[in-house]
Chains A and B, each alone.
Chain A
Amino acid sequence: MTTTRVTSTSVEGTRTPIPSPTGTRKRKRSRVELTYYLFLIPSLLVFTAFVVVPAVIGIFYSFTDYVGYGDWSFLGLRNYQALFTDPTILGSYGFTLGFAVVTVIVAQVIALALAIGLSRRIRFAIPLRGIFVIPMVISGIVVAYVFNYLFSNSLPALATSVGFTPLEQSILGDPNLAWISIVIVSAWQTIPGALLVYTAGLAAIPGDVYEASSLDGASTWKQFTSITVPLIAGFIVINTVLGIKGYLGAYDVIVGLTGGGPGNATSSVAMTIFGGFTGGDYAYQMANATVFFIVTVLISIIQLVATRGRTVRL
């Protein structure tokens, strides 16, 4: 903002009666040119109409017994109370949180490992990076359908041919194992984005830092923990926060793999909420959605606060 101030004083210094494009200290009370409002208002209007108004309406209905049409009356907090004793809802939160935490760890570890690998003296670095990024451009539901076939047909066929009994049945049909397939496909799909972020972060670390430390006799692992990780901590935070937020809203991949089953074993919060539109418990699921929003925001804040100040700059 310093440049702004310097320029506007120079404008005033020459006493040109042209309005400065930015508000300056002297002109703080001056009116902002109308054009700027015309630039801003479309976004605010559309955003309010399509996101904020629905959100407010939804939260309002969460205090009623509305079923999606017709009459309704106030219930107070009864929907919310019911949520906390509903095994389906609690199950979906348990599954979604567990799945999000496991997937974010799996995806970030692999993405970071690949990014470090690609930054070393290897051949074919560009084509390899090109291949690793491909999953990013493919639709999640289609990927899930492809993996669905692999998990339910190819894997059991393979297990049978080598005589490995535990995998002869499809893991998609096993309430205790189905979640693994969702972790694998979600990670497969989201690793590229994280990989590119880490690649950018690693490229910003000057090579002589590593040279100096290796002269001092630091091992590769020591370099990783004492140089690489602290210097890309900011990227790890942003990847983890955005990753968790994405996994919490998981839907497409689950629909394509298990459809939430077997039973409700892999039913995410998003899936139970959408059930509210067909199941006639609109208001109840809006209470669920409201709680889900609060949980999402809280998790993001906790992550940001817990990791604040961990970033090191050269």
Chain B
Amino acid sequence: MTALDVKYDEAVTIEKSRRRRRLDRTNWPLTILLILASLTVLAPLYVTLSMAFKTSAQSVDGNAFALPAPFNPQSFAQAWQLTNFPVSFSISLAVAAITVLLTLFLSSLAAYAIVRNWTKRVFRWSLIYLLAALFLPFPVVALPQIQLTALTGLDNPVGVGILHAMFQLSFSVLLYSAYLRSIPIELEESARIDGASTWQVFRRIILPLLGPMNATVGIFAFLASWNDFMMPSLITANPALQTLPVVQNIFQSQFGTNYNVAFASYLLAMAPTIIVYLFAQRWVISGVTQGAVKS
């Protein structure tokens, strides 16, 4: 290779990297377009925030985007009392906790049994049986469920938690099964040779490995339960035991024009999950994405 060739090669490399750098440059028009698109998400949140701090007089003028003038934080005290926030918040949390725990417990065990006994017909059919609910919307079974929960004394937040878990079961078993199939069985074999029982294998080896899937299943179950309006509003008989989303309906009738109080209450209802999301964003997004890919 002559010196000239080397020079030429160098020149080509420089030209190439220059071209690549031009390609790597930020696409600003697209960035600006996406920032504008993100306003469709941010605007309603901004409206909620600004409405919550307005006075009742200002809140009825329809100009939702105006800043609060004067600044009035008292709506929160009223909203807090009207919705009995500490109680409805605790009930929402309890329902979501029942849903998450029951979903994790039932579906991880069932999926493990099914995957490890896939050659047995009973287990294969059980999976199909459990998956049937994927195509079963709640309205189809709502009426008998309302009746049965009332008959069995489960027309309360506990019953709502159980039913939420039932409608998460299919999807969760599916996610766990897909994940368990990717865990090599050799990991279990050695423990078995050491004399571990099936339960010990599950508890000591499988459960720690299920970590990422537990997060995914848990996030899905939590969000579905925490944000639901339909089931608690139909199942829970005692209005004093309603969840946070359901109690928001008092502002639709009784306090029709106190928009500032209503929005303060909406903000209180939205805030917990948004705050948790902002802090655990990467975690939530990777969890949900995993669920999406596995399914």
Contacts and interface: CB of A to CB of B under 8 A. Distances in A.
Interface of A: 1, 3-4, 7, 11, 16, 18, 21-24, 28, 32-33, 35-37, 39-40, 42-44, 46-47, 50-51, 53-55, 57-58, 61, 68, 114, 117-118, 120-124, 128-143, 145-147, 149-150, 153-154, 156-158, 188, 193, 196-197, 199-200, 235, 238, 245, 248-249, 251-252, 255-256, 269-270, 273-274, 276-277, 282, 285-286, 289-290, 292-293, 296-297, 300
Given A46-B166, A141-B246, A154-B62, 6 more contacts: A46-B106, A47-B169, A157-B63, A196-B289, A197-B293, A273-B140
11 contacts: A22-B119, A40-B126, A47-B129, A47-B166, A58-B141, A114-B34, A117-B34, A124-B31, A133-B284, A149-B47, A196-B292
Interface string B1-30: 000000000000000000000011111101
Of all A-B residue pairs in the complex, the 5 with the closest CB atoms, nearest first, are: A157-B62, A54-B144, A249-B137, A39-B113, A35-B198
Nearest to B188: A21
Nearest to B200: A35
Given A238-B295, A290-B140, A296-B135, A134 B64 contact: no
Given A196-B289, A249-B138, A297-B135, A37 B248 contact: no
B143 A276 contact: yes
B27 A122 contact: yes
A53 B148 contact: yes
A51 B166 contact: yes
A43 B144 contact: no
Contacts, number: 299
Given A21-B185, A22-B116, A289 B173 contact: no
Contact of B143 (A123, A197, A286): A286
Contacts of B201: 21
Interface residues of B, number: 111
A135 B139 contact: no
A33 B196 CA distance: 13
Contacts of B292: 193, 196-197, 200, 235, 238
Contacts of A149: 47, 51, 64, 259, 262-263
A80 to B, nearest CB: 15
B277 A273 contact: no
Interface stretch (B69-77, B207-215, B266-274): B266-274
B252 A139 contact: no
Contact of A47 (B130, B137, B140, B293): B130
Contacts of B254: none
B84 interface: no
Interface string B236-280: 000000001110110110000001001100100110011011100
A292 B139 contact: yes
A131 B263 contact: no
A297 B293 CA distance: 23
A79 B64 CA distance: 48
B38 A131 contact: yes
Given A134-B274, A139-B227, A196-B288, A121 B26 contact: yes
A235 B246 CA distance: 33
Given A43-B106, A51-B133, A282 B198 contact: no
A286 B141 CA distance: 8
A156 B34 CA distance: 27
B137 A270 contact: yes
B185 A121 contact: no
A40 B126 CA distance: 8
Contacts of A297: 135
Interface string B24-63: 1111101101110110111011011001000000001111
Given A50-B162, A142-B245, A193-B288, A289 B26 contact: no
Contact of B148 (A21, A44, A54, A252): A54
Contact of A289 (B51, B142, B163): B142
Contact of B110 (A39, A58, A135, A143): A39
B90 interface: no
Contacts of B162: 46, 50
A292 B137 contact: yes
Contacts of A289: 139-143
Contacts of B262: 145, 149
B87 interface: no
B229 A157 contact: no
